[in-house]
Structure 1
């Protein structure tokens, strides 16, 4: 063991302390350097994290705006779809209404065809009946006009029941004292094809009975014969 009184002890102690101090300085410098590196690395990490967060925020904002745009587009498309559905419903309603109108028109056309067929049958029936009446008139004309001096005139009729042409049967040779004196019966054909006696001059009280009998028998010659007899009866009164 060295003595404390060693003159070199102080130098060696100072040298040892300086060496220790230098080592501590080296250790401190190394720690500072490492701390600086760690701080720089931390700053870089924080900057990267911050950049990443900022980018993430921007991406999130862009995504949020995109979602909002999609929502608005979806809402607009839903509104447009609803309008189209309403328009389609209106079109379908119009189509159904037109189909119903079409059915009604078809039914009306069928009804008109049936009515037309019935009218045609009625016209043909009336035509045949009128031909028979015309034939009877021709026979009556031959019998009465040629043999008994009967004159047949055609006039226009405007009464409610009998419209169009009417016939006047002018009888002569009724009154022996005045053979040229005229006795007249006016008649026509109604819309349903039956005979209609309009008037007689002079008036015959039994004319409605004779008219009814004519409508039942359709025998015009017999009717005219009966009318002539009634006019002759008047001259005997």
Structure 2
């Protein structure tokens, strides 16, 4: 550009307008550029939205998973408590069964013991009855002998007690009565209880009877003691 041109008063305005046009072109993008920027912005927005949606979805899934875990924990705790209650109930049942079994065994043992004791008592009773029968038989035999020869009479008094009545002891008064009372114990042994008149040797005679179990000899000795006492009292 020549100096003359520069001196033109319109040149400055023209240059300014040209520069503004260039500046505007540089600042304002073309329609193609705007379209590409809009597409890129839309894609970026969709990516952001998808990321946010994925994050929200994952968050929801995490929340549901947490709720599921909590629910499972609660169910497990309930089942554990229920199993413990069942185990406790089973333990109590086992203890009760053991106690009942122990009681049953104890009752069985008691019943066996009672049966054995009953059997023993039955054997003892049978043995005592047999012994008593033998003793009564011996007494009856002795009674027959002494009744025929010596005027002996045997009376049953107060259940198991027997009273022996002697006559013909005192030749001066053959009608006089001399007695002694004898019982039979539960074990079948004899027990001399009293005599009338009283014989001082009755205790020794009772002891000898327990040792020998000879009732005939005992009755003979009792009569001898009565005879001796009668002779001593009469001085004959």
TM-score (norm 1): 0.78
- 1:131 is matched with 133
Q: CA deviation at 1:114?
A: 3.0
Identify which of 216, 229, 232 aligns with 1:221.
Answer: 216
- 2:36 is matched with 34
Identify which of 191, 198, 217 aligns with 2:193.
Answer: 198
For residues 15-59 of structure 1, the C-alpha deviation after alignment (integer angstroms, 9 at most, x for no partner) is: xx99xx88996x532222222222223333322322222222222
For residues 209-237 of structure 1, the C-alpha deviation after alignment (integer angstroms, 9 at most, x for no partner) is: 21122222222122112111111111112
1:1-237 paired onto structure 2 within 5 Å? 28-156=30-158, 164-237=159-232
Moved more, 75-84 or 42-51: 42-51
CA distance in 1, matches of 2:214, 2:89: 71
CA distance in 2, matches of 1:77, 1:202: 96
CA distance in 2, matches of 1:203, 1:34: 156
TM-score (norm 2): 0.78
CA distance in 2, matches of 1:125, 1:105: 29
CA distance in 1, matches of 2:37, 2:170: 164
Q: CA deviation at 1:145?
A: 2.7
CA distance in 2, matches of 1:178, 1:33: 173
Runs of at least 4 residues of structure 1 off by over 4 A?
21-25
CA distance in 2, matches of 1:52, 1:73: 31
SS at match of 2:112: helix
SS at match of 1:197: strand
Moved more, 209-218 or 132-141: 209-218
CA distance in 2, matches of 1:71, 1:128: 83
> Which ranges of structure 1 fall in alignment gaps of 5 or more residues?
6-13, 157-163
SS at match of 1:236: helix
Moved more, 123-132 or 100-109: 100-109
CA distance in 2, matches of 1:177, 1:42: 162
For residues 123-151 of structure 1, the C-alpha deviation after alignment (integer angstroms, 9 at most, x for no partner) is: 22222211210111111221223432222
CA distance in 2, matches of 1:42, 1:221: 142
